[in-house]
Amino acid sequence: MLKSKTLHTKCRKIIHVDMDAFFASVELRDNPELRGKAVIVGGAPDSRGVVATCSYEARKFGIHSAMSSARAFKLCPAAIFIKPNFSKYKQASDQIRRIFKTYTDLVEPLSLDEAFLDVTENKINNPSATIIARKILDQIFTETQLTASAGVSYNKFLAKVASDINKPRGLFVIPPEKAISFIEKLPIRKFFGIGKATEAKMHKLAIKNGGDLKKKTKIELAQQFGKFGEYYYDIVRGIDNRAVNPTRIRKSVGKEITLSYDTSDMQHMLTLLEELATKVADILVSQDISGKTITLKIKYHDFRTITKSVTLGYYLPRSAASIMKHIKTLVDKTEAGKLKVRLLGITISNLDNDIPEYIQTVFPFYETMIADIYNK
């Protein structure tokens, strides 16, 4: 059974394309005088805002996505802060997606700046996914003056991991015959979907890389990680049967973050909620959908989980400010601040999507949720 399951996945040719520092790259393209400088796209340094993304020059100072803008300013006072312009980023994203569609209709966007493509059968009748990936990267640069990186393999997990290896403007291929040896040597922190909290737990179990993970039985992993235990069991064996699906109906758009430590600091929580609201708004804009119901999810330090919702008589404007206006009211109805909190989440539902639209692949782990489209 395992053999047939594995062989089935190896028949596919999957590409994951990930734009390099997308928001910052768009700003640098449109403002050539900023090239070579530390540029930060995000909140102002004198606000409670956070870094959405930054140029590679800024990253040399240790600046990264989801860092507070105030902290980023301390690390690099000479950095140039730019307020995000999502309409401009969406325009560039739409142009890039049109490029994808010239090669295949099986395109699954994850956000404005990344997508999976299934090119097993493609419009240019080229049997090489590697050649197609290079053509796509070259075409993106030619038409948009933006750079991207790509990963190529036979499933989504491996393609996603591969796209991060040679950034920026890189291409990495994991062929089926090298997949297992690659995964066994891969540090746990490099596994897509495993963030800091899960990494720490795995280290306590003496799991430092894929080889260590592979030694665990499915039962052991289920006992330690619940329903995700089977996912870990499969991916470390190179098994990921998820299809590249461009037309799945979405019923809600949500983001949540498991904090690295429990907190009762309300200002810190509001900063994180603003970051989540920004990411949710970005998805709404990128997929051209809106919703009427806003839901706040909070998990307290004792693992009690509560939700507070409000349903409007109109479709919510697709902006972080509009979402936060209602989230702040919902927060006041909870015990956050009085009790320590370990998880925060925002969901928009009751959507106006009468037609199929894109779905975002989400793994409920720390780094994926706090970084997502910004950690590029």
Known catalytic residue: 220?
Answer: no
**Token reading at 198:** 């899960």
The b-or-e profile of 20-59 (16+ CB within 10 A means b, else e) is bbbbbbbbbeeeeebeeebbbbbbebeeebbbbbbbebbb
Q: Which amino acid is at 63?
A: I
Taking alpha carbons only, the member of 83, 84, 81, 118 closest to residue 101 is: 118
Which of 114, 199, 256, 274 is catalytic? The answer is 114
Taking alpha carbons only, the member of 373, 370, 279 closest to residue 68 is: 370
CB 310 within 8 A of CB 329: yes
Whole-number Å distance between alpha carbons of 163 and 107: 16
The H or E element that residue 88 is part of is helix 86-101
Taking alpha carbons only, the member of 19, 8, 231 closest to residue 109 is: 19
Whole-number Å distance between alpha carbons of 100 and 108: 10
Whole-number Å distance between alpha carbons of 302 and 257: 16
Q: Are strands 171-173 and 148-153 parallel, antiparallel or unpaired?
A: parallel
The H or E element that residue 81 is part of is strand 80-82
CB 54 within 8 A of CB 24: yes
Whole-number Å distance between alpha carbons of 44 and 346: 23
**Angle between helices 218-225 and 196-204 in degrees, nearest 10:** 130
Question: CA angle at residue 60 from 149 to 83, to 5 degrees?
Answer: 75
Q: Annotated catalytic sites, by residue? A: 114
